[in-house]
Amino acid sequence: MLRFMREMTSSWIVKGLMLFLVISFSIWGIGDIFRGNSLKKAVASVGNTEISVQDLNQLFERGLVQARQALSDNLTAQQAKQLGLLDHVLDQEINSRLVDLDVARQKISVGPEAILDILAKEPQFRTKDGSFNKALFYQFLQQQRMSEAAFFAKEQQELARFILVGSLQSPAVAPQTAVDLIFKARAQKRTLDVVTVDASKMTGIAVPDDKALREFYDANQKKFETPEYRSLTIGTLSTDAIAKDFSVSDEQLKTLYEEKRDEFSIPERRDVVQVVTQDELKAKELARKARETGSLTSVAKALKENAVPLDKLEEKSLMPDLSKAAFALSAGGVSEPVKTQLGWHVVQLKKVFPAESPAFDKIKDKLREDMRREQAVEAATRIVNQLDDELAAGHSLDDIADGLRLRLVKIPAVDSDGLTPEGKVPQELPNKDVVLKDVFGQGVGETSPVAEDKNGGYYVVRTDDIVPSGVKPFDEVKKEVAAAWKIREQKAKARAKAEKIAQDLNSGAKLASLSGEEGVSVRTSAPLSMLGDTDKDLPETLVGKSFHLKKGETAQESVDGKSYVVRLAKISDIDASKPDTRKVAIARELKKQMRDEVSDQYLAYLQTVFPVRKNAELLEMIRQRED
């Protein structure tokens, strides 16, 4: 979760846990794929522990929000299973449990002091001057919805795991000879003679007759298809529009103000300076000298401790014992040392900000807006319930729209990508992806359930008509057919010319002999290497082929209406024995491969110590289940 997670990215965790977190948690959309199975039934056992369906479900749920944010709300559990992630996540949980069992067997334990040391060095918990900021730490715990005790327990377990796995991998060092050889191969520069044949410049294409065009049309009908179009009616209900109908008197606002005065009030806040040390005697010395000098900051500097200013702290933002001490001080006062799990704290009060209660006139406009919106939401909720009832009774949107204050928008035709026949996106299409899913998932005359839009309003959508996809008549698209036919013939001619050029070059022809030929251009490529040096005007696939060529050999590729012929003209080697910063990445890559091999062997060994069994029948049921 902290440093351990980053450091372990070079070990088996990349193959396992981190790969799972980055891929599985970023892709998995789970829903409730385990409905119908006993949540306590084991899908696997590791040693004397069991992995239940519920265990798997909880693991997936932790990544659900991330998955939908990273990809799409529409990703289903079935799609995720088809990606093979169900088995993958189970294997990673098995690996984690194997290591945890070995941690217990080896009697490896980590005390809270080790976690404190790491916390103090974590950049995310440090202020600009580099000192540990306890407030940031507690803010992190709140965001993670984790107690301090749970955090320390988790980190202690992870560090113990890291110590065990790291002890197996730490000796791995990539041999320098191997690094140099790989670097030499990857840094080698290759220069190509490049011949490009532009299909669009090919002339002399015969004019086809109707028979040839019709045969081309019949063989390539997908090129001339129209997509399925659907017409729809959208009924929208705007809470903002409803809010305009509500009036709120000053008397109502004053009553609300008095009822919620505490919510509007700002509690007392304090600016303090804090020093945290692991030494109780030093904490007492800090407190004593700070009282004598009046400055905890100066005393801390003299004793080589960090004094951290914490501004505008509320009483509830501190741990109870520390809060009690800080809020009992008068201006300039210094607390006695207070012990917490983070160490010994000494606090000096710098400034007090009294509790504030904003004046009524200052916030009455906001109160009016909030109250009107609250009334509008309540009214919209009643309307939505009535709308559900009316639709369930079979009434049409057109008949009930005025009575329920719905605004109807009709869109004559739209395809599944949200485009009209003119290729435009309709202006009034709320929550486009969801609306289109409803429209193309229901039959003519069917109306979707009422849904909330992104602005807090509501909408329903009815599919009015379906125009099936079809092939445009030949006579209607004859010009398009002729143009497509010509492009095909030009590409064929360009490919044939490129093949002839490759044959000639292989037979010893000079590049100069190609100058002036129709649609042909000749140039020298930029130097290429496997370390990222490339030629942006060459297809990537052709650049890849060039690394397999011997000097004088050719390769071909046709992409986007251009046919390329390249010949390897020059190879430039480098002295791989010289220092080069790019070798560092290669050494890391080799080291990781060596560590992965050790980890694979270690995990295989652990399975002989702690037998692993999978419930194949239950797993297959989960894989095959349609959700």
Q: How far is CA 533 from the centre of its chain?
A: 29
Tokens representing 225?
């298809």
Q: Which residues pair with 461 in a beta bridge?
A: 234
- Confidence class for position 306, pLDDT limits 50, 70, 90: confident
Look at residue 147 and tell me whether its pLDDT is greater than 70. Answer: yes
The average pLDDT across 480-503 equals 95
Highest mean pLDDT among 40-49, 315-324, 556-565 belongs to: 556-565
In angstroms, rounded to a whole number, what is the distance separating the alpha carbons of residues 390 and 626? Answer: 33
Look at residue 29 and tell me whether its pLDDT is greater than 60. Answer: no
In angstroms, rounded to a whole number, what is the distance separating the alpha carbons of residues 371 and 246? Answer: 9
Look at residue 2 and tell me whether its pLDDT is greater than 60. Answer: no
In angstroms, rounded to a whole number, what is the distance separating the alpha carbons of residues 17 and 95? Answer: 8
Provide the residue range defining the domain that includes 108: 3-171+607-624
Query: Do the domain assignments include residue 535?
Result: yes
Look at residue 199 and tell me whether its pLDDT is greater than 60. Answer: yes
Look at residue 402 and tell me whether its pLDDT is greater than 80. Answer: yes
Q: Which of 301, 321, 353 is the last residue of a domain?
A: 353
Task: Verify that 142 and 238 share a domain, yes or no.
Answer: no
Look at residue 20 and tell me whether its pLDDT is greater than 70. Answer: no
Of 223-232, 243-252, 454-463, the one with minimum mean pLDDT is 243-252
Task: Verify that 128 and 29 share a domain, yes or no.
Answer: yes
In angstroms, rounded to a whole number, what is the distance separating the alpha carbons of residues 201 and 624? Answer: 54
Tokens representing 21?
């977190």
Instruction: Please tell me the predicted confidence (pLDDT) of residue 172.
Output: 63
In angstroms, rounded to a whole number, what is the distance separating the alpha carbons of residues 442 and 429? Answer: 17
Task: Verify that 17 and 164 share a domain, yes or no.
Answer: yes
CATH code for the domain of 378: 3.10.50
β-bridge pairing 470-471 and 229-237: unpaired
- Confidence class for position 524, pLDDT limits 50, 70, 90: very high
Query: Do the domain assignments include residue 586?
Result: no
Instruction: Please tell me the predicted confidence (pLDDT) of residue 474.
Output: 94
Query: Do the domain assignments include residue 588?
Result: no
- Confidence class for position 252, pLDDT limits 50, 70, 90: confident
Q: SS3 of 377, please? A: helix
- Confidence class for position 466, pLDDT limits 50, 70, 90: very high
In angstroms, rounded to a whole number, what is the distance separating the alpha carbons of residues 465 and 455? Answer: 28
Alpha helices in 306-359 (DSSP H): 320-326
Task: Verify that 153 and 75 share a domain, yes or no.
Answer: yes
If phi > 0 it is left, if psi is from -120 to 50 it is alpha, else beta; for residue 561 that is left
- Confidence class for position 4, pLDDT limits 50, 70, 90: very low
Crossing angle of the two packed helices 85-105 and 616-624, in degrees rounded to 10 = 150
Asked whether the beta carbons of 38 and 53 are under 8 A apart, the reply is: yes
- State the sign of the Cα–Cα–Cα–Cα dihedral 256, 260, 263, 268: positive
- Residue 581 has phi, psi (to 5 degrees) of -65, -25
Instruction: Please tell me the predicted confidence (pLDDT) of residue 8.
Output: 38
Q: SS3 of 589, please? A: helix
Asked whether the beta carbons of 563 and 515 are under 8 A apart, the reply is: no
If phi > 0 it is left, if psi is from -120 to 50 it is alpha, else beta; for residue 338 that is beta
Task: Verify that 123 and 204 share a domain, yes or no.
Answer: no
In angstroms, rounded to a whole number, what is the distance separating the alpha carbons of residues 587 and 178? Answer: 9
Of 72-81, 222-231, 242-251, the one with minimum mean pLDDT is 72-81
Look at residue 31 and tell me whether its pLDDT is greater than 50. Answer: no
Query: Do the domain assignments include residue 577?
Result: no
Task: Verify that 217 and 155 share a domain, yes or no.
Answer: no
CATH code for the domain of 318: 3.10.50.40
List strand residue ranges (DSSP E) for 361-428, in order.
407-414
Tokens representing 361?
């006139």
Query: Do the domain assignments include residue 506?
Result: yes
In angstroms, rounded to a whole number, what is the distance separating the alpha carbons of residues 408 and 461? Answer: 10
Look at residue 261 and tell me whether its pLDDT is greater than 80. Answer: no
Task: Verify that 392 and 538 share a domain, yes or no.
Answer: no
Strands of 338-340's sheet in order across: 307-314, 269-277, 343-353, 338-340
Asked whether the beta carbons of 531 and 589 are under 8 A apart, the reply is: no
Asked whether the beta carbons of 296 and 273 are under 8 A apart, the reply is: yes
Task: Verify that 81 and 156 share a domain, yes or no.
Answer: yes
In angstroms, rounded to a whole number, what is the distance separating the alpha carbons of residues 609 and 603? Answer: 10
Task: Verify that 83 and 17 share a domain, yes or no.
Answer: yes
Query: Do the domain assignments include residue 434?
Result: yes
Q: Which of 330, 353, 376 is the last residue of a domain?
A: 353
Look at residue 128 and tell me whether its pLDDT is greater than 80. Answer: no
Tokens representing 305?
């401790």
Instruction: Please tell me the predicted confidence (pLDDT) of residue 295.
Output: 94
Query: Do the domain assignments include residue 259?
Result: no
Task: Verify that 501 and 460 share a domain, yes or no.
Answer: no
Q: Which residues pair with 198 in a beta bridge?
A: 562
Counted domains in the chain? 4
Asked whether the beta carbons of 299 and 286 are under 8 A apart, the reply is: yes
In angstroms, rounded to a whole number, what is the distance separating the alpha carbons of residues 1 and 492? Answer: 57
Task: Verify that 337 and 216 share a domain, yes or no.
Answer: no
Residues 349-382: tens digit of each pLDDT: 999 999 888 777 777 777 777 777 777 778 788 8
Look at residue 284 and tell me whether its pLDDT is greater than 60. Answer: yes
What percent of the chain is modeled with pLDDT above 70? 88
The average pLDDT across 173-182 equals 88
Instruction: Please tell me the predicted confidence (pLDDT) of residue 508.
Output: 87
Local structure of residue 10 (DSSP, 8 states):
G
- Give 518's contacts (C-beta < 8 A, 6+ positions apart): 201, 202, 203
Instruction: Please tell me the predicted confidence (pLDDT) of residue 26.
Output: 34
Instruction: Please tell me the predicted confidence (pLDDT) of residue 89.
Output: 80
The average pLDDT across 515-540 equals 93
β-bridge pairing 562-572 and 520-524: unpaired
Query: Do the domain assignments include residue 513?
Result: yes
Q: How far is CA 465 from the centre of its chain?
A: 38
HSE-CB for 505 with a 13 A CA cutoff: 26
The average pLDDT across 482-507 equals 95
